[in-house]
């Protein structure tokens, strides 16, 4: 079995982290496969939603430290290890405007938690546990945690997690806004795919434009955001899907969307 399994079904691409014996800790080769799979899903018109999950009751325990045991690197080599390898997933996701959902069962630790934060939504199983555990091994978050976590749960809550490395369970994660839904472990994937299927049935051009508008809005003032959204609106209203959505709404029937 591959360390990362990529499949597409009914408009939903699934990236399965598949190293259960190592709690899906990732190697450098696995990171490149991960980034390539995300890029493939972005370019595939048959993919409308992306789900990221882990095998064997874990999401991801971060970088597989055992794979680097004993290696000596200069500061420049250490920086390039991150920027040219581990950061590829984060930077690739910057270009993905399709919905990305993390299905988190079991632990999501360190860079593994950061990988979940990089997704648009996080659904957790009851047994999910989250930790920015870098501090416990004398490190700083290396995959965006200091940028991502405050934007998700607020600055003070993020600092508490970053400074202590303590685990947060599923219910607490829901309370602080770290995850969007919690389900029993046995029901998690059904819930994720049911939600993904709802998104896959929506007009895909509009779905992608909404994601871009939300991201752009986080970086711009209201006047700029309104100017950008007027351009998005002009494009969206010219599509076949927009006309089909309006007709389906009037006829009280499901729409059939083609992405055009």
User: What pLDDT is attached to residue 81?
Assistant: 86
User: What pLDDT is attached to residue 223?
Assistant: 94
**pLDDT tens profile 148-176:** 999 999 999 999 999 999 999 999 999 99
Which three-class secondary structure string do you get for the chain?
CCCEEEEEECCEEEEEECCHHHCCCECHHHHHHHHHHHHHHHHCCCCCEEEEEECCCCCECCECHHHHCCCCCCHHHHHHHHHHHHHHHHHHHCCCCCCEEEEECCEEECHHHHHHHCCCEEEEECCCEEECHHHHHCCCCCCCHHHHHHHHHCHHHHHHHHHHCCCEEHHHHHHHCCCCEEECHHHHHHHHHHHHHHHHCCCHHHHHHHHHHHHHHCCCCHHHHHHHHHHHHHHHCCCHHHHHHHHHHHHCCCCCCCCC
User: What pLDDT is attached to residue 69?
Assistant: 63
How many C-beta atoms surround the C-beta of residue 94 within 10 A?
9
Strand order, beta sheet including 121-125: 4-9, 12-17, 49-54, 100-104, 121-125, 181-183
User: What pLDDT is attached to residue 233?
Assistant: 93
- Contact yes or no for 46/31 (Cβ under 8 A): no
- Contact yes or no for 163/140 (Cβ under 8 A): no
CA dihedral over 46, 144, 60, 213, signed as positive or negative: negative
How many C-beta atoms surround the C-beta of residue 72 within 10 A?
5
248 contact partners, CB below 8 Å, separation of at least 6 = 254, 255, 256
**pLDDT tens profile 207-226:** 999 999 999 988 899 999 99
Phi-psi label, residue 252: left if phi above 0, alpha if psi -120 to 50, beta otherwise: left
Spatial distance between the Cα atoms of 217 and 102, rounded to a whole number of angstroms: 23
Q: In 3D, which of 129, 110, 104 has the Cα closest to residue 191? A: 104
The ranges of the chain with pLDDT < 50 are: none
């Amino acid at each position: 079995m591959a360390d990362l399994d990529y499949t597409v079904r009914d408009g939903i691409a699934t990236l399965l982290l598949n190293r259960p014996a190592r709690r899906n800790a990732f190697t450098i080769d696995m990171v490149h496969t991960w980034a390539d799979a995300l890029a493939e899903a972005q370019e595939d018109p048959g993919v409308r939603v992306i789900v990221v999950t882990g095998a064997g009751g874990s999401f991801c325990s971060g970088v597989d430290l055992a794979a680097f045991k004993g290696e000596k690197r200069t500061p420049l080599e250490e920086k390039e290890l991150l920027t040219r390898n581990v950061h590829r997933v984060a930077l690739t996701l910057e270009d993905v405007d399709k919905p990305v959902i993390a299905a988190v069962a079991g632990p999501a630790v360190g860079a593994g938690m950061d990988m979940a934060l990089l997704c648009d939504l996080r659904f957790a199983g009851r047994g999910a546990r989250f930790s920015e555990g870098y501090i416990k091994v004398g490190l700083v978050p290396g995959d965006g945690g200091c940028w991502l976590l405050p934007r998700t749960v607020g600055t003070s809550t993020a600092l508490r997690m970053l400074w202590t490395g303590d685990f947060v369970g599923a219910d607490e994660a829901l309370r602080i806004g770290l995850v969007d839904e919690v389900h029993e472990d046995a029901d998690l994937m059904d819930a994720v795919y049911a939600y993904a299927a709802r998104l896959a049935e929506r007009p895909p051009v509009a779905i992608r434009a909404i994601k871009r508008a939300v991201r752009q809005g986080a970086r711009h003032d209201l006047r700029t955001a309104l100017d950008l959204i007027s351009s998005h609106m002009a494009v969206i209203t010219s599509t076949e899907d927009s006309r089909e959505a309006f007709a389906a709404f009037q006829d009280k029937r499901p729409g059939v969307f083609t992405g055009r």
